[in-house]
Chains A and B, each alone.
Chain A
């Protein structure tokens, strides 16, 4: 286990060390040769990054919320075994994971909805995630059936069962799938590039890429960049928010379980 953790850490240490290195080096360095924080200064002093950061937070929060909403709603309906049309719904949803119309037709739909150049284009379509919905459904199925039965005997409506029983009992599922959504929205750049031309609406990832590209560009000699350290610093900076959020989600993976108590 320790070995595993170390093997995970070394490459990450390289990125971290390179981000503090004013000079560009080649090889695995765990400590910068010319220590400097200029890369971080470059990133944080780039005022142009503040607005994108805000947009990233906004879209990640609302996207994750909508994503969880749709996947819990969908999943809840899909576990109703005797619901007429359930199998059709399941197939109806799953089908879209495998078959897709391609970029151009999807673009045209979004465009005709008037969603291009709005944040809707980067929030709404990706919040419908088949993969996550089926994972959610799998979690809901683990809830003991007796709970549903007793609730329906009490005459609770489906919505009350959903809100009172299903959601509270699925906190680990909400945490993990919420994490999936959060990271998906946080890391998204492709949807922005495709659907948004107004650069004021670009998110943090798109802007970071722009910043890094000025160094990375392979064919255009005229683009002079900030150096490698910025690229590495950008990777680190982009990791920070998920790292802060993760422990909060992690809590739910442990609280539900009483293994510790079993052991003693």
Chain B
């Protein structure tokens, strides 16, 4: 009987729950139809009349709804201090919405689709373009041109990289950065090799790494060079393996003002030949096609890899720390781009004001300009708060232990100081590997802009890119005849290429 009673109670609870739910639901879940008219339409420049009388007082927003990915300080790592300090300094409440990093764009899309649009949102590459194109982002061109920030930006090319038909829909918080080629410095010394300056020397170096037992274990088991894939899955597809691609690219490029498919240009054929020869000779990781970035890192850390092209800056230090844990005498040396090629600096990731924001001028002035003020604000968003994340000792900045993991020093709030785009005099002294790898990278890096987008492009590019990587892998790994491979490519890709070129050259 006791059992029976329990069951009745249970059922009752269940029914109550269900009924209360049903009652709520009668308040009608059909809000999806009243959907977004206001984000639609052309609002480029509509609000810009006021800013021309720029002396007019800009109203300060009382709060800003801010949607941001994992690059912003996590709650567990002391996000509240940053929010509090920002409010103390500016009087603005920052309402942070920080979805889990992997699902960030899923959540951003969902937020826009369901009318929960934030005031400020971080959007990378194709997302940024797509959102700008659809009129979801506020045009900040005039605000930027008339602002103080503009004078503080050291290189306008960085900002120009995110212009869409000359208009700005977002402001970068830091440089896009790029990858540099890291070489095992200790192997170079051991085998008596100089840092390679051109392709022939580079290949010679790989050959020696392959054949002269640089790790000294008596076995021929080193991987001269590793990479995650022969071709990047999106623009720029040739960001890694710079020594092999050189001036060729599988992307669409502009030649004499006209767009062409880089895949079928003559220099691509040479690049494929270089890749094929090197792979067949065993100078490139056999598993390049199945490597993930994390696999490459693990292989590099385990001390088996000679050359690895990866992010400049902070990652140089990470590579050293993890590699020397296994191979204490190891050195990680970033090398300048060889004669035939250059490194690629990606377009930066812009912070955008949405068209749903009520006071875009205020947000720009009191949030964006403050964050990039080359002073107090930038210090706050880079290094945090004195006494909590850093302290000053003899005029030098020392990082305090991280809140989340006290074994390591605090890293950064939001902006990576070493990638600053303003003339900010950074009080912090970055470690030698960070400074050095960035210097070597920037010596010969080309700032890339965003690849254009359109409805046709977003529909067709992913599949075309997948065809490209299929063909390149076949040629390089299966030693397929290059001309034949490219013929096959032309057949498979013809419809795609025609449609895309027609769209680009419009």
B32, A104: Cβ atoms closer than 8 Å: yes
B76, A46: Cβ atoms closer than 8 Å: yes
Chain B residues closer than 8 Å to A73, beta-carbon distance = 14
Question: 26 interchain pairs (CB within 8 A)?
Answer: A24-B298, A26-B298, A34-B325, A34-B326, A46-B404, A46-B405, A48-B76, A104-B110, A109-B25, A109-B29, A111-B114, A114-B24, A124-B17, A163-B3, A164-B3, A194-B103, A197-B97, A197-B99, A207-B76, A210-B74, A214-B70, A217-B70, A220-B70, A221-B311, A221-B313, A222-B412
Question: Contacts A108-B114, A199-B75 given: A224-B103 contact, CB under 8 Å?
Answer: no
The 8 closest A-B pairs by CB, nearest first: A221-B311, A112-B29, A23-B325, A24-B301, A48-B76, A26-B302, A26-B298, A109-B29
Q: Chain A binding site: helix, strand, loop or mixed by DSSP?
A: helix
* B102 contacts partner chain A, Cβ-Cβ < 8 Å: yes
A112, B313: Cβ atoms closer than 8 Å: no
B103, A193: Cβ atoms closer than 8 Å: yes
Q: Chain B binding site: helix, strand, loop or mixed by DSSP?
A: helix
CA distance A34 to B325 in the complex (A): 8
Question: Contacts A213-B101, A222-B416 given: A163-B7 contact, CB under 8 Å?
Answer: yes
Chain A: minimal CB distance from B217 (Å): 14
A112, B28: Cβ atoms closer than 8 Å: yes
Q: B71-109: contact bitstring with A at CB < 8 Å (1 yes, 0 no)? A: 100111000000000000000000001111111001100
Question: Contacts A33-B326, A108-B114 given: A220-B31 contact, CB under 8 Å?
Answer: no
B102, A113: Cβ atoms closer than 8 Å: no
Question: Contacts A160-B4, A164-B3 given: A112-B27 contact, CB under 8 Å?
Answer: yes
A209, B322: Cβ atoms closer than 8 Å: no
Question: Contacts A108-B32, A224-B314 given: A26-B304 contact, CB under 8 Å?
Answer: yes
B29, A223: Cβ atoms closer than 8 Å: no
CA distance A113 to B106 in the complex (A): 21
Q: A212-234: contact bitstring with B at CB < 8 Å (1 yes, 0 no)? A: 01101111111110111000000
* A42 contacts partner chain B, Cβ-Cβ < 8 Å: yes
B71, A223: Cβ atoms closer than 8 Å: yes
* A257 contacts partner chain B, Cβ-Cβ < 8 Å: no
* A54 contacts partner chain B, Cβ-Cβ < 8 Å: no
Chain B residues closer than 8 Å to A111, beta-carbon distance = 29, 31, 114
- Residue in A23, A105, A189, A213 whose CB lies within 8 Å of B32: A105
CA distance A153 to B311 in the complex (A): 77
Name B residues whose Cβ lies closer than 8 Å to a Cβ of A: 3-4, 7-8, 10-11, 14, 17, 21, 24-25, 27-29, 31-32, 70-71, 74-76, 97-103, 106-107, 110, 113-114, 124, 177, 293-295, 297-299, 301-302, 304, 311-315, 318, 322, 325-326, 404-405, 407-408, 411-412, 416, 419
Of residues 124 through 169 on chain A, the ones whose CB sits less than 8 Å from some CB of chain B are 124, 159-160, 162-164
* A96 contacts partner chain B, Cβ-Cβ < 8 Å: no
CA distance A33 to B328 in the complex (A): 13
Chain B: minimal CB distance from A233 (Å): 14
Name A residues whose Cβ lies closer than 8 Å to a Cβ of B: 22-27, 33-34, 42, 46, 48, 66, 69-70, 73, 103-105, 107-109, 111-114, 124, 159-160, 162-164, 189-190, 193-194, 197, 199, 206-207, 209-210, 213-214, 216-224, 226-228
Chain A residues closer than 8 Å to B103, beta-carbon distance = 190, 193-194
- Residue in B107, B318, B322, B411 whose CB lies within 8 Å of A194: B107
CA distance A80 to B102 in the complex (A): 46
Chain B: minimal CB distance from A106 (Å): 10
A27, B302: Cβ atoms closer than 8 Å: yes
CA distance A245 to B257 in the complex (A): 67
Chain A residues closer than 8 Å to B294, beta-carbon distance = 216, 218
Chain B residues closer than 8 Å to A42, beta-carbon distance = 405, 407
CA distance A228 to B98 in the complex (A): 24
Chain B residues closer than 8 Å to A48, beta-carbon distance = 76, 404
CA distance A220 to B174 in the complex (A): 12
Chain A: minimal CB distance from B398 (Å): 18
A24, B100: Cβ atoms closer than 8 Å: no
5 more A-B contacts (CB under 8 A) besides A34-B325, A104-B114, A193-B103?
A25-B326, A107-B110, A159-B4, A213-B70, A223-B71
Chain A residues closer than 8 Å to B10, beta-carbon distance = 69
Chain A residues closer than 8 Å to B11, beta-carbon distance = 159
- Residue in B299, B315, B405 whose CB lies within 8 Å of A221: B315
Chain A: minimal CB distance from B299 (Å): 5
CA distance A190 to B405 in the complex (A): 26
Residue ID in chain B nearest A157 by CB atoms? B4
Chain B: minimal CB distance from A228 (Å): 7
B325, A22: Cβ atoms closer than 8 Å: yes
Residue ID in chain A nearest B415 by CB atoms? A222
